[in-house]
A and B are shown apart, each in its own frame.
Chain A
Amino acid sequence: MLEVRHLAIAYGGAPAVWDATLEVGEREVVSVIGPNGSGKSTLVNTIAGLLRAHSGELRFDGVDLGAVPSHLVCRQGIALVPEGRRLFMRMSVEENLEMGCYRGEARRARTTTLERVYRLFPILRERRRQLAGSLSGGQQQMVAIGRALMALPRLLLLDEPSLGLAPAVVDQMFEIIRAINGEGVAILLVEQNVVRALEIAARAYVLEEGRTVADGPPAILRQQSRIREAYLGLRDGGDVNP
């Protein structure tokens, strides 16, 4: 469904991507892991249309996303839960959710989807008139996910959904991600928390300094020292320069 081949993106001060390749199939959960600054967010933001790639291929259902204006990317069936949530803080919870179904099909389905989001996150129904800026971090994350679901995506891009949340809330968040996937939505998850990211995914990619350096099923990746090395800078032997 999503195909990324040899993508390169370099902007201002954001971590650059030099050569990223990955694939997400229908209904699949795929994780991208890698240390901070390895370009994970740059990659998903480019898929969502916020940034443009310099070279490489980016296709969704065969459509070249590089040629789609950024405000039309969501129409293809891609929705983003950005890093740091980026809610519209001066708008109410419900208004934030409604921004998710701004376009076309999704707007016609507003009432049913809204009901679905509120069933998923009952607390948001209670808080729907409150300003998004007044919610706790976990609730804000729910709004961000809810907003993306309102767009009726077939592919959900999740960028660091556990960042800054208490462990119990993180558990809950991953339950919900699993439930969303259970409804048939494919998920591309970018996560710092390797354990969680590998638990939930069918396949994972390791991004290091802007390059995909490894991929495969979690069971295999877990065995490799590569991840540990990338995150902690340690080789198993302990020396730095081989």
Chain B
Amino acid sequence: MSARRRVAAGLLAAGLALGGLATAGLPAFYESFLYIIFSWIALATSWSLLSGYAGYFSFGHGAFFGAGMYTTATLTTALGLPFLATLPVAGVVAAALGAGIGAVVFRVKRLRGELFGLLTLAVGFVLATIVLNTRIDGGPGVYLSAVPLPRLLSSPTGTLYLLGLALALATVAAAYVIAHSRLGLGLYAIHDDEDVAELEGVPTLSYKLIAFALSAGIAGVAGGIHAMYVSYVTVGETFSITVPLYVVLMSVLGGARHWLGPAVGATIIAASLYTFTGGQQAVLGRAAVAFVLILVILLLPEGVVPAALARWRRWRPHPLEIFTTAASTPAPAAPAVALTCENVWRAFGGIQALRGVSLSVEPGEIVGLVGPNGSGKTTLINVISGYYAADRGRVVLGAEVLTDRPAHEIAGLGVSRTHQIPRPFAHFTALDNVALAATFGATRLTPGQARAEARDWLEFTGLGRRAAALPHELNLHERKFLELARALAGRPRVILLDEVLSGLNPAEIAGAVRLIQEIRGRGVAVLFVEHLMRAVLELCDRVVVLNEGTVIATGSPHEAMRAERVVEVYLGKAHVVA
């Protein structure tokens, strides 16, 4: 049975069992106890879609929950809509709120990590103030006791129980599906290194918006149901710090990056809070939960579920997968084309890093880009790959103008690159690092196909046996080759190599040089930035020499490196005659 079917069967069985329990006539106390757990499962799991998967920790989940509560409260009491009809509206309102906030906030690059957390916290307080001071609430709170509750079961609590159960299961199922989809892969990559994710072809902005809207929408529906459960909605209770606090705790405890982690964390915390009810005990219970949170963050930063899974795997190790690929590495996905830079300018503050650079790379050609430190080589690579915008000039790939396109579109058109200091996704295995590039590069494979193809590229770069290793387990030479495999996996038409040889020993350099020759053999255009001149002369068909952002020589390696200007720049004046 495939993993996907096992999960589907498990969720279905849980749904039938818990649903059956209620129809069999569960005491109301247990119904409401379990309802609370379901509600927390939906909240914590929905929170993790953005905050766990993509690493944008939000302390504003209460705002979306509250938006849902007040939507249902207002629609049922003021407009007299039926309760069930308000739930989708609650979801849409909260999702729109999330997407709206995201549309503003995600455009500001630095608003990540703790700044995003603070911002979402503030959004919650602002929303609370607005609700409190407008006709939405106005101060005294909203009573829903007169709103009719459809009877799905014999008791009203039974209805809420079933609604909560359905939402919790649907949310966990959605979390599973997303975790194993293209979207999930992209979100995980954003978590580890958002800039690299974009450069590898992940449409980061739209993925974050989708995740935020979905996450907020589910919280909104949960809020809508909860409004009916509490039947008296007040600003103080709705927007208190409790919801954002507990969803963070639950997800982090269970494992925010795992689809099941938040559900497990929610069950543990909600159940233990419920056992400490009433007065002083509740206070100590809260302290105990906070203490456990601290311990988990410090000792099991990945959460309980991933830690348990890791232990389980160690105890019952998977049979080693044997690769028997013939390393039949495919050619580029699209017809070969040339890359051209036309008069590219780029400044940082007052410093002109590029002053009108023009160059071209033909298919199957290796063009060396050399020059002293600070001459603008890496800046040019960043402009071509879309990480920086050009101030003036254009970059053209075949018939497509790349300039001013977002980086992920450029990657999708078949431009890939390596980073001077390797930047693998830290939580991805070597295989998944490469598979991500195959998923989002020019080939657009499904995650399943991408993993199969990723194996080939790992074999090609000699990393086949390290497929399951995490980046921190690789040595420098392996990380450098992983960069190469990742750049190749998108089946690029143009590949930009930024000092792939630095830090390697002579034997490793010889290996890398052979690899690059093979890459050229496939008709890929290669732009090769390198300080190691021995390799530049061995590999390059042509050389472009940059100095202070200007091309000072081009031509065959021997011609270019003998040019008077070049010798002067490299060695100083006296050597020209020597």
Contacts and interface: CB of A to CB of B under 8 A. Distances in A.
A touching B, CB within 8 angstroms? yes
A13 B373 contact: no
A210 B373 CA distance: 17
A12 B478 CA distance: 11
Interface residues on B, range: 35 or more
A108 interface: no
B503 A13 contact: yes
Contacts of B12: none
| Overall SS of chain A's interface | loop
Contacts of A227: 571
Interface string B350-388: 000000000000000000000011100000000000000
Interface stretch (A73-81, A95-103, A189-197): A189-197
Contacts of B504: 16
A35 B575 contact: no
A228 B509 CA distance: 21
A238 B558 CA distance: 7
Contact of B420 (A10, A13, A234, A241): A13
B562 interface: yes
Interface string A224-242: 0001101111100010110
A18 interface: yes
B558 A234 contact: yes
B478 to A, nearest CB: 13
A195 B536 contact: no
Nearest to B506: A209
Contact of A193 (B422, B532, B572): B572
B4 interface: no
Given A10-B503, A36-B373, A232 B567 contact: yes
A14 interface: yes
Contacts of A241: 538
Nearest to B373: A36
Given A13-B421, A222-B578, A233-B533, A192 B503 contact: no
B574 interface: yes
Contact of B505 (A12, A18, A37, A163): A18
B476 A209 contact: no
B429 interface: no
A12 B423 CA distance: 10
Contacts of A232: 533, 561-562, 566-567, 570-571
Interface string B523-535: 0000000011110
A10 to B, nearest CB: 6
Q: Which 9 A-B pairs have the closest CB atoms?
A: A233-B533, A195-B572, A13-B421, A37-B531, A36-B531, A233-B537, A232-B561, A195-B574, A16-B503
Interface of A: 10-16, 18, 35-38, 160, 163-164, 192-196, 209-210, 222, 227-228, 230-234, 238, 240-241
Given A13-B503, A232-B562, A240-B538, 10 more contacts: A13-B476, A16-B503, A36-B531, A192-B373, A193-B571, A210-B505, A232-B533, A233-B537, A234-B537, A234-B558
